[in-house]
Amino acid sequence: MSQYHLIQPAEALARLVGFSTVIDVRSPAEFAEDHLPGAVNWPVLDNDERRIVGTLYKQDPLEARKVGAAMVARNIAAQLDAHRDVMQKHWRPLVYCWRGGQRSGSMNWFLNQIGFKSLQLVGGYKAFRGEVIKTLAALPARFDFVVLCGRTGSGKTRLLQALSSAGAQVLDLEALARHRGSVLGGLPDQPQPSQKAFDTGLWQALVALDPSRPVFVESESRKIGGVQLPEPLHLRLREHGRCVWIDMAEAGRVELLLQDYAHFQLNPEGFNALIGGLVALRGRERVGRWQALAREGHWAEVFGELMRDHYDPGYERSLMNHFPALARAPRIELLDGGAAELARGAQALIDLGSAAPA
């Protein structure tokens, strides 16, 4: 492959939106775990074929290359045929595989032979992953984060949405993680991303932010469901974040929880299975009462008691331990989670954010 058909990772990422198509030729399983933003999957080996060639390579590398080459050639032909409509004049694709080797090299060669100015990513996905990790280590230190702290159900996520609508910069970690961060936090029919995919989404969000403007973010634990915040970001939020305490009356909090967790009304036993994990903390009798209330459909009562007896005890103290700046944080009180209150709260936060950091 001519060096003119190759592109280095840093340049490729800087030009990513300029490619007509970003083609990931890895197997569907590799693609599903993570991929470059906006990439499409044109596998030159499917999951089974990749396993077969890999197993054979350990026994006889030459035979594996012969078998693999035949598979790759057939699959490239099928991909070119299936995507003929995409490949119009002046089409400029970027092609990559795991390490920028034979899989992407083969596809890139064919595309250039057709006449397209296709480029192959040097180092492949592995090099992209290295750039993501490097950026996530360095970039958080550049931002002035305003951290929304508050008890469960106090409207922090909705405030982030209101802030975004008002033009403020927002980093919504729970949206990226597809999880609300509590024992009940899994989203219905939305599995969490892999750790690598979460990192990629976070990288994409951070590089789009302007370091000269404040960034509003919700206080989070190190882990959000099954994914983990990069340590540099985690430390930046806790040690240098400008905290604001969000307070809401209990009735408003219960109403927001009823909305956020409405899906459990169709699946009370799923809810009960999750809160069954609280027995060690809250006792079998109390958890059993919550489970009985859920079966009977008394959801407001369930969430009210969960707030008072599980989430609230020690929550502010725990936040104080993890966010030293919270001790001197300003407070914003919301009456409820209605649009008008959220808009008022968002404007108050924008006003606070615009003030020079202490």
Return the closest-CA partner of residue 116 out of 135, 98, 89, 97.
89
Contact 142, 157 (CB under 8 A): no
Q: What DSSP string describes 247-290?
A: EE-HHHHHHHHHHHTGGGGG-HHHHHHHHGGGHHHH-HHHHHHH
Dihedral of CA atoms 123, 226, 139, 332 in degrees, nearest 10, equals 160
DSSP assignment of 83-138, as one string? TTTT--TT--EEEE-SSSSHHHHHHHHHHHHHT---EEETTHHHHHHHHHHHHHHH
Give residue for tokens 């990559």. Answer: 96
In contact, 68 and 45? CB cutoff 8 Å: yes
Which of 13, 39, 97, 319 is catalytic? The answer is 97
What does the chain come to in residues?
358
Answer for the pair 33, 196: CB distance below 8 angstroms, yes or no: yes
Q: Classify 51 as helix, strand or coil.
A: helix
Known catalytic residue: 243?
no
Active site residues: 97
